[in-house]
């Protein structure tokens, strides 16, 4: 709402006195307030009281703008301390930090995810995760593979957790589809469970546990 650029710069003579940083700030605020769909060159220009061409002059195009927005948030992302007694505990906790951060900043995360730039947002946290994997005894390709598996698992859970309310119409979501089907060879208890959404927040740590334990087991066997 309030302009973030210093009032002292308002007397530069030129009409708007806009900074590249001001634009990125406004874009970030726009996404955080109204979701990734609101990040439009025209909406952003209107918010800043300039023409869209001004944005192009400062930034250079929508892709660059999106990248700058994600970087901006990434810089301001709080580094959380990793907790846990065992090595496996600490690895899982580092992964859950990425999950928590994604949920806290759901709109920008959704933007980054949609644009294929998730790593741009989470890189510092990914480094922390990789470090914990090395402490746990994994190195080289083994460390990278465990790292990738964990990240992709978190990404998969985020696909559902960050899915916008509207999404497809009616009920193309899993629970609705399973309510319309009566397959043979599946018990009623399971079918009933399938018709309500899983609790991702409790399912994720369990799943990560399984992946981490399996990865660390390989290092135990080859000492």
| Binding region for its own copies (CB under 8 A) | 63-64, 66-67, 113, 115-117, 119-120, 123, 127, 130-131, 134, 138-141, 143-145, 147-149, 151-157, 159-160, 163-164, 167-170, 172-174, 177, 181, 183, 185-187, 189-190, 192-194, 198, 200, 203, 206-207, 209-211, 213-215
Closer to its own copies at the Cβ: 11 or 79?
79
Count Cβ atoms below 10 Å from residue 132 Cβ, excluding itself. Answer: 23
Quote the least distance from Cβ 167 to DNA, whole Å. Answer: 13
Residue 9's alpha-carbon distances to 6, 12, 58, 95, 165, in angstroms, are 6, 6, 17, 43, 41
Nearest-CA neighbor of 119 among 134, 102, 132? 102
- Pick 20 or 192: Cβ nearer DNA: 20
CA distances from 65 to 59, 82, 129 (A): 6, 32, 28
Binding partner of 53, given its own copies, DNA, none, CB within 5-8 angstroms per partner class: DNA
Closer of 13 and 187 to its own copies (Cβ): 187
Interface with DNA (CB under 7 A): 14-18, 39-43, 49-54, 56-58, 61-63
d(Cα 102, Cα 108) in Å, to the nearest integer?
8
Q: Do the Cβ atoms of 80 and 122 come closer than 8 Å?
A: no
Least Å distance, CB 25 to its own copies, is: 20
């Amino acid at each position: 709402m309030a302009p973030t650029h210093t009032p002292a710069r308002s007397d530069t003579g030129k009409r708007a006195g806009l900074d590249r940083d001001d634009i990125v700030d406004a874009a970030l605020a726009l996404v955080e307030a109204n979701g990734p769909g609101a990040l439009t060159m025209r909406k952003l220009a209107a918010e800043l009281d300039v023409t869209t061409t001004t944005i192009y002059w400062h930034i250079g195009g929508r892709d660059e703008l999106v990248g700058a927005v994600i970087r901006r948030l990434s810089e301001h992302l709080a580094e959380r301390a990793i907790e846990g007694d065992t090595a496996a505990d600490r690895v899982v906790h580092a992964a859950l930090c990425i999950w928590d951060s994604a949920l806290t900043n759901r709109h920008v995360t959704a933007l980054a995810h949609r644009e294929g730039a998730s790593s741009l947002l989470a890189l510092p946290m990914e480094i922390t995760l990789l470090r914990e994997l090395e402490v746990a005894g994994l190195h080289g390709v083994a460390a990278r593979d465990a790292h990738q598996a964990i990240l992709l698992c978190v990404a998969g859970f985020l696909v559902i957790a960050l899915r916008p309310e509207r999404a497809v119409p009616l009920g193309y979501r899993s629970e609705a589809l399973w309510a319309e089907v009566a397959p043979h060879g599946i018990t009623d208890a399971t079918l009933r469970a399938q018709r309500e959404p899983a609790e991702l927040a409790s399912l994720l740590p369990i799943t990560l546990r399984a992946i981490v334990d399996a990865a660390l087991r390989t290092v135990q066997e080859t000492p």
